[in-house]
Structure 1
Amino acid sequence: MEALNANFDLSTMFFVNALTCALSTLCFVAVARHQPHGPVRTSLAIWAGGNALLALGFVLLQLPYGPEGFPHLTLWANLTVDAGPAMGLVAANAFFGRPARENWPLGLALAIALAQIGYGLSTATHYDWVMMLLGCLTRGSMVLATARVLWRHADAEQRGPARMAAMFHLIWAGVLALRIMVLLDGDTSDAALEASSIMGLTARFMLTWVIAICLLWMIARQLNAQLIQHATRDPLTGLLNRRVIWEAGLARGNRAAAVILLDIDHFKAINDRWGHGVGDRMLVMVARQIAATVREDDLVGRIGGEEFLVLPAATGAEQVATLAERIRTAIAGATLSLDEGGTLQCTVSIGHAQGQGGEGRWDRLVAQADSALYTAKRDGRNRVVADATPEPRAAVHQNARVTPIAAAVRA
């Protein structure tokens, strides 16, 4: 401790940490300014606020205290520093979209802070080991809670940097635990307390940048995943967009391939009667029914207004026909709740085709499925029709009763 105290001055470490936290605040603010409103921007703003509070607390700890300066300044400065890790917990939960109840460790921090206030107001001592102990307990509990959130709730894209940030939070918690052990060791002289503070501030200085870099790396991975999402997914339904599903079909090459095309029946009537908002919700409902029905290896995309395309992994005629019928049945049985009361249903017409891949084969395969879809529409809708075969009746799956869209509204 004495060697550490000889090389570092407490006031200097306060200044260095204040500067470091201020710079990391500016980094978070700069990144947040270019983000749309959402969890990422909110979490960046909270992380920036937490680092700003740390910087402010370190500045306050350098001001004069006592009767000639500001009474109880050390107490309020330490509470300001303690608020920084607490905001870090809130920011981590906001980033991962966790509910507000996940911030329950703040209750523990508040209880310790109240004890710290009660004790601090009763003493004018600048360096008091009880106050320092309570501060370490507050920060340690928040740092551990933040590490837990970062470790448990990151998805595959964020997991690497998030868990690295969690590990450095654990190191920070370990340093605070070491300080607590030093404080409980029995030596509460000013020199020992100052050396303990310098040890904590030195570790905090090194960890500030490492944690900030890990968090910004995690956010960069999240933004990259969002860019990929925007480039490959339909913004309304979340299915693959036309370009991606088309390229996937072309990539089948000379392998056997199958195509299922489906179109919502009377969709224009839905938009005209109920409005485009209900129409959009209907598209989302249909997309969810398709995604829930297909197999994991099947690809699903939205290729037009109310038209969807499925690329089944299994390309046998019977397998494709069975899958198409399952999709039709699932959509026909789904209901959409209306804001004004009642429910709305819809049906789909489906055409499918299968064959060998090859040069130009993909376009012909889609054209054959589209022709079968046209036949399903012409023959009454709400049915599955296969590409033209010598025995077309064997490839048709039809409801016993075709329900018009007007009959789909339930009071």
Structure 2
Amino acid sequence: MKLHLNGLTPPSTHQSYSFAIIAVVIFVFCLVGIFSRPLTYLAIFWPANAVLLALFLRFPQLSNTGGWLGAFTGYMLADLLTGNFLQLTTILTFANLINTAVSLFFIRYFHINYLNYNKGFTFLTMFAIFAVGGCLAGATFAIFTVPYVSNTFMSTDRLWIDFGMWWVTEIVNCLIMLPLILAFPQLKELKQIIHNRRHRDYHFNEILPVMSVGLCVILTAVSPGPGAILYPLAALIWAALTYQLFTLTIINAVVILATYYNLNHFYLADSTNAYLSTAISVRIGLAMLILAPIILCIISRNRHELYKEVLYLANHDSLTHAMNRRFFFEQGELYLKNRTETTFSIIMLDIDHFKKLNDQYGHYVGDVVLQQFANTIRKNLREEDLFARIGGEEFVILLRNIQADEAQKIAERIRNIVETTPIQIDQDNELYITVSIGITHETLPDAPSLQFLINQADQALYQAKQLGRNQVILANC
């Protein structure tokens, strides 16, 4: 999801864009909330405040005077056009804006970056600010103003019930809408997701969690009651451990809204008193039901990312980011065992006079040389080729499905690029290096061991060193 307000656009145009976008969005989501009001009371679902906060967080360029005026206009128009009175509409609008303004203030005050919503405690912190700050401020303003105007739906006789209803409803709305908008992929990511899903095979077990969630929602409609709030819990936990966060937020929103709807109609069918006495506890229960799978999904994704980082560090050289010796042999032997093509090449590379370079310039310069050398090699390889650092200044490449003359051309190109490309030590200094290369090429269906082939390439490398360095030698296979 991207929104561009070009920096060359005049400020007045920025304000106009912000006003128009926010006014339309808030108007639409207010109508959704208004049509969910039971008993001429508070809306069952009022997403506008959480949507406004999410938009201001995700698109800070909208959070200007035009954006706030657009929000005010959207709130006012939606209520007035659906028959509300001006005085009450104005107070409700200010209560909604206070909700968002207080939340936004504290999020910015504590320098919370929404991009880290799925890292550590960021989402919980944002939720706590919205629940304890924004929702509390909005609810407090509402109970001290709304009951005292004409044609109100709130009563001075039940201030604390009204306060609790407003507060917990906003918390539920926040948990439904905020993660959904913040987790929505960028346009580039969305295209990549769609492309990947079109070009992959799906397994039945991948859709089992969402199917189980659907069955639980149906069960909630068929057999509503106090226990219905827990029907989807196990299925949502399963979904949280299976899907990405954005997918989970969609599932979460559908489940909670369906459960919310069924439970409200169950209590409304009973009596008005039953609805009012249980509405707060039902909504708190729904908030917990939403929060649990989101937190579990974030923890699961973070653990998965951490595992990938640890695995990468275990399999790669920390300085050059090439494969380490163990991982190269593991992947190389696996390739030899399962390969379908019959030809491949092993290339051994050794930076000339590297020890002398280290002694003359120091280990820092030596590290820079190794890093830039590895980057040069990577740029000249295909994605399927294997590349590893197996010693101090020694590197090895496995070229898959390639002829001997092609492998020799690649090696010669690498040698030439290394020789002619300066290595930038700092802003004022650069140096040049050369590399000696040995190649072995295999054409037999049953190739010898990887270590045997590397030894052959290493012997060719030794010949290149003996013959004066900075050259490519093909082993006699």
Deviations 1:287-339 (A, max 9, x none): 22212211222111111111110111134220110111222233334443334
Task: Say whether the 8 Å CA contact 1:136–1:179 is kept in structure 2.
Answer: no
The yes-or-no answer on 1:367 pairing with 2:447 is no
Alpha-carbon spacing, 1:270–1:108, altered in 2? closer, same or farther (3 Å): farther
Task: Say whether the 8 Å CA contact 2:118–2:298 is kept in structure 1.
Answer: no
The yes-or-no answer on 1:313 pairing with 2:400 is yes
Task: Report the equivalent of 2:326.
Answer: 243
Paired with 2:248 and 2:330, the residues of 1 have a C-alpha distance of 43
Alpha-carbon spacing, 1:121–1:244, altered in 2? closer, same or farther (3 Å): same
Letter of the aligned partner of 1:242 in structure 2?
A: R
Pairing of 1:5-154 with structure 2 (within 5 A): 89=114, 91-92=116-117, 94=119, 116=138, 119=141, 123=145, 125-126=159-160, 127-128=162-163, 139-148=175-184
The yes-or-no answer on 1:378 pairing with 2:458 is no
Task: Report the equivalent of 1:342.
Answer: 429
Letter of the aligned partner of 2:178 in structure 1?
A: M
TM-score, normalised via structure 2 length: 0.49
Paired with 2:438 and 2:298, the residues of 1 have a C-alpha distance of 49
Paired with 2:140 and 2:377, the residues of 1 have a C-alpha distance of 61
Paired with 1:210 and 1:366, the residues of 2 have a C-alpha distance of 50
Deviations 1:220-272 (A, max 9, x none): 32233234323322222222211232344445269544210011122223322
Task: Say whether the 8 Å CA contact 1:245–1:300 is kept in structure 2.
Answer: yes
Structure 2 residue aligned with 1:272, among 359, 364, 370? 359
Stretches of structure 1 lacking an aligned partner (at least 5 in a row): 1-74, 99-103, 390-411
Alpha-carbon spacing, 1:285–1:138, altered in 2? closer, same or farther (3 Å): same
Deviating more after overlay: 336-345 vs 113-122: 113-122
Letter of the aligned partner of 1:147 in structure 2?
A: A
Q: 1:83: how far off?
A: 8.0
Task: Report the equivalent of 1:231.
Answer: 314
Task: Report the equivalent of 1:329.
Answer: 416
The yes-or-no answer on 1:281 pairing with 2:306 is no
Alpha-carbon spacing, 1:90–1:121, altered in 2? closer, same or farther (3 Å): farther
Alpha-carbon spacing, 1:344–1:168, altered in 2? closer, same or farther (3 Å): same
Letter of the aligned partner of 2:117 in structure 1?
A: A
Q: 1:197: how far off?
A: 3.3
Paired with 1:190 and 1:330, the residues of 2 have a C-alpha distance of 82
Alpha-carbon spacing, 1:345–1:179, altered in 2? closer, same or farther (3 Å): farther
Alpha-carbon spacing, 1:150–1:217, altered in 2? closer, same or farther (3 Å): farther
Task: Say whether the 8 Å CA contact 2:438–2:464 is kept in structure 1.
Answer: yes
Paired with 2:363 and 2:295, the residues of 1 have a C-alpha distance of 44
Stretches of structure 2 lacking an aligned partner (at least 5 in a row): 1-97, 146-155, 197-238
Task: Say whether the 8 Å CA contact 1:143–1:173 is kept in structure 2.
Answer: no
Task: Say whether the 8 Å CA contact 1:92–1:150 is kept in structure 2.
Answer: no
Task: Say whether the 8 Å CA contact 2:176–2:290 is kept in structure 1.
Answer: no
- SS state at 1:211 partner: helix
Task: Report the equivalent of 2:81.
Answer: none
- SS state at 2:383 partner: coil
Task: Report the equivalent of 1:407.
Answer: none
Paired with 1:146 and 1:364, the residues of 2 have a C-alpha distance of 53
Letter of the aligned partner of 2:406 in structure 1?
A: Q
Task: Say whether the 8 Å CA contact 1:143–1:172 is kept in structure 2.
Answer: no
Q: 1:348: how far off?
A: 1.4
Paired with 1:279 and 1:83, the residues of 2 have a C-alpha distance of 48
Task: Say whether the 8 Å CA contact 1:93–1:149 is kept in structure 2.
Answer: no
Paired with 1:113 and 1:198, the residues of 2 have a C-alpha distance of 17
Paired with 1:135 and 1:213, the residues of 2 have a C-alpha distance of 19
Paired with 1:109 and 1:339, the residues of 2 have a C-alpha distance of 51
Paired with 2:132 and 2:185, the residues of 1 have a C-alpha distance of 19
TM-score, normalised via structure 1 length: 0.56
- SS state at 2:377 partner: helix
Alpha-carbon spacing, 1:119–1:346, altered in 2? closer, same or farther (3 Å): farther
Letter of the aligned partner of 1:201 in structure 2?
A: I
Task: Say whether the 8 Å CA contact 2:440–2:457 is kept in structure 1.
Answer: yes
- SS state at 1:369 partner: helix
Task: Say whether the 8 Å CA contact 2:435–2:469 is kept in structure 1.
Answer: yes
Task: Say whether the 8 Å CA contact 1:172–1:203 is kept in structure 2.
Answer: no
Paired with 2:143 and 2:352, the residues of 1 have a C-alpha distance of 73
Task: Report the equivalent of 2:246.
Answer: 166
Q: 1:165: how far off?
A: 3.6
Deviating more after overlay: 217-226 vs 314-323: 217-226
Paired with 1:347 and 1:163, the residues of 2 have a C-alpha distance of 49
Paired with 1:274 and 1:162, the residues of 2 have a C-alpha distance of 52
Letter of the aligned partner of 1:243 in structure 2?
A: R
The yes-or-no answer on 1:221 pairing with 2:291 is no
- SS state at 2:184 partner: helix
Alpha-carbon spacing, 1:89–1:377, altered in 2? closer, same or farther (3 Å): same
Q: 1:193: how far off?
A: 6.3
Calculate percent identity across the aligned residue pairs.
27
Paired with 1:94 and 1:330, the residues of 2 have a C-alpha distance of 42
Task: Report the equivalent of 2:345.
Answer: 258
The yes-or-no answer on 1:295 pairing with 2:375 is no
Paired with 1:205 and 1:351, the residues of 2 have a C-alpha distance of 63
Paired with 2:317 and 2:327, the residues of 1 have a C-alpha distance of 10
Deviations 1:146-185 (A, max 9, x none): 33269959999xx9847454344335555479989x99xx
Paired with 2:448 and 2:251, the residues of 1 have a C-alpha distance of 60
Alpha-carbon spacing, 1:359–1:122, altered in 2? closer, same or farther (3 Å): same
